[in-house]
Amino acid sequence: MDRRILAVALVAMVALAGCQSPFSSETTTPAPTSTDATTTHATSTDGTNTDEYADPETDRLGWEGGLWYDEPIQVDRSDGLNDSELAAVVNRSMARVEQVRQLEFETTVPVSIITRAEFRNQTQSGGEPSRNASLHQNVKWEAVFMTGENESAIAAQRSNTAGSVGGYYSPSEDRIVIVSDSENPQMNEVTLSQELFHALQDQRFNITRYDQSTTESHNAIDGIIEGDGNYVDYLYEQRCTEDWDCLMPESSGGGGSSSDLHVGMYAITFQPYSDGPPFVQQIRENGGWEAVNAVYENPPASTEQTIHPATYGEDAPTEVSVADTSTAEWSVPDLGPNSVDYAEFGEGGMYVALWYQSYVASNEAGAVRNVAIPYQDFFSASGELDAYNYDHEMTAGWDGDKLVPYVRDDSTETNETGYVWKSVWDSPQDAQEFVEGYRAVLDHLGATEVSTDTYRIPDGKYADAFSVEVSGDTVTIVNAPTVEELDDVHETA
């Protein structure tokens, strides 16, 4: 997925923050800081060029399907691309990806182009999720105050996907689809380059082997998958600006509406797209592309390791366990074989959880309103590659977390659920800093402290009871429909 497409949907927030998005159309791309190895075209035995674009005798880096990375091609884009034109664009883009990334494709991947409307219909018409899957997602996103009891978290996620994805590579189908915002589908070569690189990643590094079953594990692994992909995308686009003729849409078209975007969910999804590219850039600058290749054998273990690259390979996350002390009325929804029945948000997700209410309050007021992590903090990242900031003292001490949803037999009808969210921090002080931010969010949502460490939000879409306990470096949050039911969900010592 192209981080530029993701970031466009966040531009509306930037205006309120008084900043310019690093991906806006006015942003200029600086000259590259390093130069890739060049590919020498065909030469005669005495070393002189016989044909600048002659095909080599054997496959070479920077050459694919009869085209060199810098070879001109002729296409008529007035009525879309016919099969031969599309093949030429794809083959040359493959050669360019090879030239930028210094990796050879093993096979060619089919590419098709569809309209945004077609993609939206495909996404929204997906199969109905099971009862337990819906409940699991609803509890998970309610826990970070992003969807209320009467809202569908899966519907919100599908809406985000439908309006934002610019293209995708399907490992299971071994094909690439480019999503065009024009009614007459047009190619975006930079988006194509990234999806081609994802296919190359799968061919060379088998990226489907990783466990990405939770939000945190998904974003952690995407620190290298999307970090590398978007760094290559960045280098490719530089070449388009400087010395390559690249096929880009003639107009941006419609795309997803910012009013359809769930910014909180989106900001969590965006973390590896923001922190991943500078993480990869630093590794490449220190050890070259071979060092980047080695990361696939030891990918980031947490979002902490891409937010704070110095922790990569040094600070492994804590494996958090949550004992089931619920009564018989409450149970963890079973998601079936090969599924996990818990959630993990990681440092990136917990940062957004404490920042999102500042966004909501600011958006409603039309002016900056801070709740926990300040609104402007998200926009304080610096550098061409690091789009947004996910580092704040309230969450920087994260060391591990696990959220376990609980439901009753009637939860689908009543929308009454519960959860236990346990997190471990680097120090008791770090735990206290997180709790201060979390309590600020509760207070903003109308919670009152009914007894020591026990809170109740009386009405609204987050109306529930909460227990927030700190024991040294560990924070345990329990949620239930009423104060009386807190111990039924999770009895604490």
DSSP for 421-450, written as a single string: EEEEESSHHHHHHHHHHHHHHHHHTT-EEE
pLDDT at 28: 27
Token output for 63: 């050459």
pLDDT at 384: 83
pLDDT at 182: 81
Contact between residue 392 and residue 377 where contact means Cβ atoms under 8 Å apart: yes
pLDDT at 208: 95
Task: Please list the residues that pair with 468 across neighbouring strands.
Answer: 477
Distances (CA, A) of 14 to 21, 28, 40, 178, 265: 6, 18, 44, 27, 17
pLDDT at 301: 98
- List CB contacts of 484: < 8 A, sequence separation 6 or more: none
Which residue from 472, 475, 431, 473 is spatially nearest to 453, judged by alpha carbons? 475
Q: Domain residues of the chain, as ranges?
A: 3-318, 359-489
- List CB contacts of 6: < 8 A, sequence separation 6 or more: 164, 266, 269, 270, 273
Question: What pTM, to 2 d.p., does this model score?
Answer: 0.90
Distances (CA, A) of 232 to 100, 284, 301, 428: 7, 11, 22, 40
Contact between residue 223 and residue 212 where contact means Cβ atoms under 8 Å apart: no
Q: pLDDT digits over 351-404, tens only?
A: 999 999 999 999 999 999 999 999 999 999 877 899 899 999 999 999 999 999
Return the residue matching tokens 């130069």: 35
Contact between residue 346 and residue 302 where contact means Cβ atoms under 8 Å apart: yes
User: In angstroms, rounded to a whole number, what is the distance separating the alpha carbons of residues 447 and 466?
Assistant: 9
Contact between residue 207 and residue 111 where contact means Cβ atoms under 8 Å apart: no
Residue type present at position 477: I
- Long-range CB contacts (< 8 A, 24+ apart) of 80-83? 80/113, 80/184, 80/185, 80/186, 81/113, 81/187
Contact between residue 245 and residue 291 where contact means Cβ atoms under 8 Å apart: no
pLDDT at 37: 35
User: In angstroms, rounded to a whole number, what is the distance separating the alpha carbons of residues 79 and 86?
Assistant: 12
Strands (E), 15-170: 63-64, 67-68, 111-115, 167-170
Taking 50 as the pLDDT cut, the residues of the chain under it are 5-6, 8-9, 12, 14-15, 17-40, 42-49, 253-256
Ramachandran class of 59: left when φ > 0, alpha when ψ lies in -120 to 50, beta otherwise: beta
Q: In terms of DSSP H, where are the helices of 188-337?
A: 189-205, 215-242, 263-295, 304-307
Task: Please list the residues that pair with 479 across neighbouring strands.
Answer: 419, 466
pLDDT at 128: 85
pLDDT at 38: 39
43: DSSP letter? B
Contact between residue 371 and residue 444 where contact means Cβ atoms under 8 Å apart: yes
pLDDT at 52: 85
